[in-house]
């Protein structure tokens, strides 16, 4: 029996290093209703957004056709604590485009994951050694404790640790 999709979505977010002090993070969305791209330029080491551009190719009209003002609000923002709240608050001032805050969040989140990947490159391959590695990571940064199921009480990754 043929089962056709009634809706499909692809979202691709990438981070590239233009040079030692500049990252470009791009979020591209293509789905049945929308085709859009948002690109942020980020300065290191401050993680400050220095440029923000984007466009909705589809739909061509409506709330997402005018997003430049909302994008310019992102300039000067640092990727860090409370970023989701800041993005939602600033974009809500000048745009009713529902998809834009998510694209900005995904672009910023990808930058964080890019550095996370660099840190995780040092994790040992062997299971016991990797568990010890993550335990040391939790001791160094107690924010990881109970952050998700892997670091919840009862997990070997937090064995012997008291809640913060």
- Taking alpha carbons only, the member of 118, 123, 128, 104 closest to residue 42 is 104
User: H or E element: which one contains 137?
Assistant: helix 127-140
157 binds other proteins (CB under 8 A): yes
User: H or E element: which one contains 94?
Assistant: helix 83-94
- Is the CB of residue 164 less than 8 Å from the CB of residue 151? no
Q: Pick from 1, 60, 61, 82: which binds other proteins (CB under 8 A)?
A: 82
160 binds other proteins (CB under 8 A): no
152 binds other proteins (CB under 8 A): yes
Considering only residues 92 through 121, tell me which ones interact with other proteins, judged by CB under 8 A: 92-93, 102, 106, 110-120
Q: Pick from 58, 59, 65, 88: which binds other proteins (CB under 8 A)?
A: 88
3-state secondary structure (DSSP) of residue 32: coil
140 binds other proteins (CB under 8 A): yes
Give all strands of the β-sheet with 35-43 in edge-to-edge order.
22-31, 35-43, 48-58
Considering only residues 11 through 70, tell me which ones interact with other proteins, judged by CB under 8 A: 11-18, 22-24, 26, 28, 30-33, 37, 39, 41, 44-47, 51, 53-55
- Is the CB of residue 84 less than 8 Å from the CB of residue 105? yes
- For the bound state, the minimum distance from the C-beta of residue 13 to other proteins, rounded and expressed in Å, comes to 5
């Amino acid at each position: 029996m043929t089962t056709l999709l009634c809706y499909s979505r692809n979202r691709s977010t990438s981070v590239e290093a233009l040079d030692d002090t500049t990252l470009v993070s791009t979020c591209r969305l293509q789905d049945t209703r929308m085709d859009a791209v948002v690109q942020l330029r980020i300065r290191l080491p401050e993680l400050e957004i220095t440029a923000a551009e984007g466009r909705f190719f589809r739909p061509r009209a409506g709330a997402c056709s005018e997003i430049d003002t909302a994008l310019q609000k992102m300039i000067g923002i640092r990727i860090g604590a409370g970023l989701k709240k800041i993005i939602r608050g600033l974009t809500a001032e000048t745009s009713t485009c529902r998809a834009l805050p998510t694209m900005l969040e995904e672009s910023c989140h990808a930058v964080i994951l890019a550095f996370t990947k660099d840190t995780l490159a040092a994790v040992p391959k062997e299971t016991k050694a990797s568990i010890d590695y993550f335990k040391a990571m939790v001791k160094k940064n107690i924010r990881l404790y109970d952050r998700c199921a892997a670091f919840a009480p009862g997990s070997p990754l937090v064995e012997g640790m008291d809640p913060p």
